[in-house]
Chain A
Amino acid sequence: MSKDVLLSAPMMGKVIQIDVNPGDRVEEEDEAIVIEAMKMETPIYIPCDGTISKVNVKVGDTVEEDDLLLSIAPE
């Protein structure tokens, strides 16, 4: 089995929505998480096809740039 692909936060902000759960099958460019920064909601998209193995944040968390958001077991 290949190594998990990690999705980290591209910018600091507050997590306001999580669209995926562990075990979900996802495709590249699916919306994964919505972060609010500069009073704007920014959707963060899935980097590759695969299955979500772990979600590291919850709604309301404040994340810094590069914080791990979730990991994906790629196909």
Chain B
Amino acid sequence: MDFILFLVKTTGFLHLTPGMVLMWCIGIGLIYLAIAKNYEPLLLLPIGFGILLANLPLAGLMVPEEGLLWKFYHYGIQWEVIPPLIFLGLGALTDFGPMLARPSLLFLGAGAQAGVYITFFVAQSMGFTIHEAATIGIIGGADGPTTIFLASKLAPHMLGVCAVAAYSYMALVPIIQPPIMRFMTTEDERKIRMKKTRKVNKLEKIFFPVVAALLIILLIPAAAPLISMFMLGNLFRVAKVVERLTHASQNELLNIVTIFLGLPVGATMNAEVFLQPKVLFIFCLGLVAFSISTATGILLAKIMNLFPGDKINPLLGAAGVSAVPMAARVVHKVAQEADKKNYLLMYAMGPNVAGVIGTVIAAGIFLTLLK
């Protein structure tokens, strides 16, 4: 009899807590959204499973120095290896052509970061520490790897929540952004057609990643890990002499690191850390940050239209958040609702990729000032 009791005690069942079971529901919820709704499945699926694994008693997957997922987390994310590798792949996938064709659209990528800073101050006034507030603010940039990168440095205990918030809002871009865009613009503004852009030659495309890497890293050294890899990946792409490296960065490497990103991010979410009222605030503030970013991007585009010169369609400002290419697609669709023959997709890619750089710079500024 004692022996049977002993055997039962070695299983996890007796050690389960209601909190753990609740976390399972959240993990399964994310897996469901990934499979049934196709919401960012590449990330939410491993994150969801990571949550399940982190909430199994006695398994010890997240025990420091021992657990498997802890090792992924420590050597992958805390050592800041994986987010920069993701950026290598993103760089190889990014075409800066639309941005170089109309460099003034760069400003929109910067304008849409306002939500990040505004939310930083709001979160701070609500009682979050300065490091936590910065991490919450960066959700407004809607950039997953950057959010994870910053959180791992400033507020590791919030990493999982902020990552899930960032990826959820990325998936919800087509739902969150259009009402704000319609509210902020008139029908006539949405009908504005963009003047044809000039052709960007190959030399400009090669110069850009090199010059941008030097300039941005000199300005904000703390942004170096992400920007260096982003621009290297892009140089692979535009140089056109290392197709194999471009291909590997875009596909095999990106896919592999994606696996090792999602799983440990999910595993940081155990019941004690996650089931706090604070977490709801983080989700709300993240949404606020993202909405403000959308609105300020549009506002900046409208301000740019006050200056003489070709008018730009203010919807493009909404693409300044860095959810690539979802935000650009949404701009295109909302514009086509107003005028079927207005094709903004490629124009919107300009501020969209500028937004990625803008969010990395925002993260770099936070790191510089707060670390």
Contact = CB atoms under 8 A, between A and B. Distances in A.
A22 interface: no
B349 A38 contact: yes
Interface residue range, chain B: 10 to 19
B328 A45 contact: no
B346 interface: yes
A11 B345 contact: yes
Interface string B313-338: 00000000000010011001000000
A38 B328 contact: yes
Interface in B325-361: 325, 328-329, 332, 340-341, 343, 345-346, 349
A39 B346 contact: no
Interface string A37-75: 111101111010000000000000000010000000000
Considering residues A10, A29, A43, which has the most beta carbons from chain B within 10 angstroms of its beta carbon? A10
Interface residue range, chain A: 10 to 19
Interface in A1-46: 10-12, 29, 37-40, 42-45
A66 B57 CA distance: 61
A45 B341 CA distance: 6
Contact of A65 (B325, B346, B349): B346
Given A40-B329, A40-B332, A12 B341 contact: no
Contact of B345 (A29, A40, A47): A40
Contact of A29 (B328, B340, B343, B346): B340
Contacts of A45: 340-341
A40 B328 CA distance: 10
A20 to B, nearest CB: 15
Contacts of B340: 29, 43, 45
Contact of B341 (A37, A39, A40, A47): A47
A72 B345 CA distance: 25
A38 B343 contact: no
A29 to B, nearest CB: 5
Contacts of B343: 10-11, 42, 44
A28 to B, nearest CB: 9
Contacts of B329: 38, 40
A10 B336 CA distance: 13
A26 to B, nearest CB: 14
A29 B329 CA distance: 20
A12 B332 contact: no
Nearest to A9: B343
B259 to A, nearest CB: 21
A47 B193 CA distance: 14
Nearest to B193: A10
Given A29-B340, A45-B341, A12 B325 contact: no
Contacts of B332: 40, 42
A29 B341 contact: yes
B345 A39 contact: no
Contacts of A37: 345-346
A45 B337 CA distance: 13
B325 A38 contact: yes
A12 B349 CA distance: 13
A40 B345 CA distance: 9
Contacts of A11: 343, 345-346
Interface of B: 325, 328-329, 332, 340-341, 343, 345-346, 349
6 contacts: A10-B343, A38-B325, A38-B329, A39-B325, A42-B345, A45-B340
Given A39-B325, A40-B329, A65-B346, 17 more contacts: A10-B343, A10-B346, A11-B343, A11-B346, A12-B346, A29-B341, A37-B345, A38-B325, A38-B329, A38-B345, A38-B349, A40-B345, A42-B332, A42-B345, A43-B340, A45-B340, A47-B341
Task: List 5 tightest A-B contacts by C-beta distance, closest first.
Answer: A10-B343, A11-B346, A38-B325, A45-B340, A40-B329
